[in-house]
Structure 1
Amino acid sequence: MNKSRQILLHIFIWTLLVLMFMFLGSGGKNPSYTSLVIFVYFGIVNIAVFYTNYLLILPTFLNRKRYVWCAISIILLVILSTFIKCGLAYYFYNIVMVRNEGKYVMDFWQYFSSAFFVGCVFIFLSTVLKFIIDWFMNEKIKTKLENEKLTSELAFLKSQINPHFLFNSLNNIYSLAYQKSDKTPEAVMKLSEIMRYMLYESNEATVKLDDEIRYLQNYIELQKLRFKDKAYIKFEIDGETNDKRITPLILISFVENAFKHGIATDKDNPIKIVLNVSSNKLFFQVVNRKSVQNKDETGGIGLLNVKRRLDLLYDGEFRLHIDDHESIYNCELYLDL
């Protein structure tokens, strides 16, 4: 809310409160001159106390942790406002100090203590409002900083995916080129299609699940080229996927990990990839035989990356289960789409 709206809102609330108390003070009848004097003049003093504390004293001293000066300033403000009220009371003596047709006269100290107490009430209300507003502002700033930090961290994690994947793919293409394979141009074209998706089509917070599946299929085809079509992969897709969306590049690390650490050339034990969608639930499984030769010297950046992204983007909406047996690696991801 901008400042002009805040000012109008405050004016509206105070006007409404003064009119309400005037109406109640006059017993539901038309406000009398007495009501006007009591609720307008004295109301202005109390409102001035409220905003002097709220806009001047608390921001000047409390925010700077000068608590003693803050307390002294508040006490002086209440005393000053009390003397002003007493001055007004004696100026309107017959209206304020005399009640019940002149039969009861309020003396100075009675009125002084009453005015002092009312001043303290308005100090209390303005202080409470200040703390509430500051709390909401701090929460808003905290949330904004957390979101900015989250966005920055996600951007950093996503930026790690591209060079990590590119590094592995270029190694694969280098292997084909070194062998002078006729499939090298096809591998380069597949890599080009994959990089186009990663750089341009995956910039949104979510993408179509079908596009992500197509991206996985292109990656698998690229791997098959590396193995001269002697890689055995069983990719099963089940369920309605055409109207579902998913965070981009969230599944590739599991498939990449299977090729990097597993055995892809065992016809009897192919790499098994299962993607099942039921309602808004996704089940993704990758199973592969482990190879003792393929070790990731970089420390497994891919899986650490995807685990962190899942924590940030699907907090409480995913379950990742990994069985790392002696010869079999089984990864299962349950995800709310």
Structure 2
Amino acid sequence: MDRVKKIFRLIHLFVWVLFTLLVGFQLRSETDALWRTTTTGFIATCLYVFYSHFYLLTQYTSQRKGRGYWLRLAGIVLTGPVPFLLFHQKPFDFGYYFMHLFTVFIFLFLSWLARVTENLVLNTIKKEQLEKQAVEAELHYLKSQINPHFLFNTLNNIHTLVYKQAPAAPEAVTHLASLMRYMIYESNAATVPLTREMDYVRDYVSLQQLRYKQSPVVDLQIAGQTASYSIAPLLFIHLLENAYKHSPARLAPGDLKVRVELKDDNLAFRVQNPIGKNAAHPPEEPGGIGLPNVRKRLALLYPNQHTLVIQNTGETFTITLTIYGLHSPAHERKAHLHNH
């Protein structure tokens, strides 16, 4: 905001210097012997009227001006030609006085136009800053929900392993440390490499696999080069967590199917799981904050740039998240977000 105000001050200075030079050259070309004093008096009148009214408008910003505004405006109109007459070095002349009233009204209008323009620009910038702060606050709130929500479930799993004195407990702690390192230190960025996000998903799958004695219950396949893509962090974890939550207690190898497909600038993340008969909540309306959180974050981060499709066949539950235009720079997506 201060930078914009400085730019306006420089514009004022440039315009007044240019205007003064034009007036001086014009009067000098008319072979006026007193062109210097005439120019000085005329510019003094213009400056006095313009900035007296300009700063008066800063005190009376409402559309319905008070009595104080109109009294002060009348004072500016009556005293407007005085600077010119003082520099003119001639006896007071009512003809000159009334002639310069026309100049007074012109610069009253110009000062009003300048104040309205500056207010419009400054208010627009202020509005965009407030919207940006609101969006960032909302995103911070949603991300703050992710950590305790996921941590609660993971600690429950580790607690069970420790209680049973399972040999896999140390391995679980190691995986949790890796997950927390990503969540605390790396996920604060606006975007992260997709490769790193997929490493996080693999760590999560490895940690969950400790609950099962069978071969890996998750069939994870990635088609495409993840190294060239970036994405908002922690978008996929709730979709995968939802699949575990609403699956049967016993899962056969490959029952949970996770597919990541990268083509052109589009990313499709699909999770499919069998539906448990005794699930505590319907998959479409899961308990906790998982899917509602994902929907809110997607609406803020990828407006008009994603689809989230849910399919329930009665036997399987599939969620497909597609994000378009991932190669667009992050600042362009943020600009789009702030303007909406």
Once the two structures are TM-superposed, the CA of residue 11 in structure 1 deviates from its matched residue by 3.1
Once the two structures are TM-superposed, the CA of residue 298 in structure 1 deviates from its matched residue by 8.0
SS in 2 for 1:287: strand
SS in 2 for 1:315: coil
Q: Once the two structures are superposed, what CA deviation does each residue of 1:151-178 show, in whole Å capped at 9, x if it has no partner?
A: 2221221111111111111222233334
Give the alignment partner of residue 150 of structure 1, picking from 122, 135, 139.
135
Return closer, same or farther for 1:258/1:264 CA change in 2, 3 Å cut-off: farther
Counterpart mapping for 1:197-276 below 5 A: 197-229=182-214, 232-263=217-248, 265-267=250-252, 270-276=255-261
Return closer, same or farther for 1:324/1:21 CA change in 2, 3 Å cut-off: farther
Unaligned stretches of 5+ in structure 2? 327-340
Counterpart mapping for 1:172-211 below 5 A: 172-211=157-196
SS in 1 for 2:233: coil
Once the two structures are TM-superposed, the CA of residue 315 in structure 1 deviates from its matched residue by 2.0
Cross-structure match for 1:310: 298
Which stretch shows the higher mean deviation, 196-205 or 257-266?
A: 257-266
Q: Is the counterpart of residue 45 in structure 1 residue 45 in structure 2?
A: yes
Q: Which amino acid aligns with 2:12?
A: H
Q: Once the two structures are superposed, what CA deviation does each residue of 1:209-262 show, in whole Å capped at 9, x if it has no partner?
A: 111101101111111111223552211101111122111111111111111112
CA distance in 1, matches of 2:313, 2:85: 86
Cross-structure match for 2:263: 278
CA distance in 2, matches of 1:312, 1:15: 47
Q: Once the two structures are superposed, what CA deviation does each residue of 1:170-210 show, in whole Å capped at 9, x if it has no partner?
A: 22223333444322222222122111211122222211111
Return closer, same or farther for 1:40/1:92 CA change in 2, 3 Å cut-off: farther
The one of the two structures with greater contact order (alpha-carbon pairs below 8 A, sep at least 6) is: 2
Cross-structure match for 2:337: none
Task: State the number of aligned residues.
Answer: 320
Give TM-score, length-normalised by structure 1: 0.83
Which stretch shows the higher mean deviation, 41-50 or 186-195?
A: 186-195
Return closer, same or farther for 1:60/1:182 CA change in 2, 3 Å cut-off: same
Contact 1:157 1:309 in 2 (8 A): yes
SS in 2 for 1:285: strand
CA distance in 2, matches of 1:188, 1:88: 86
Cross-structure match for 2:58: 59
Return closer, same or farther for 1:264/1:33 CA change in 2, 3 Å cut-off: farther
Once the two structures are TM-superposed, the CA of residue 88 in structure 1 deviates from its matched residue by 6.2
Identity %: 33
Counterpart mapping for 1:6-25 below 5 A: 7=9, 9-24=11-26
CA distance in 1, matches of 2:10, 2:231: 45
Cross-structure match for 1:74: 73
Q: Which amino acid aligns with 2:302?
A: Y
CA distance in 1, matches of 2:79, 2:195: 73
Contact 2:308 2:322 in 1 (8 A): yes
Q: Over aligned residues, Cα RMSD in angstroms?
A: 3.0
Q: Which amino acid aligns with 1:10?
A: H
User: Which structure has the greater CA radius of gyration?
Assistant: 1
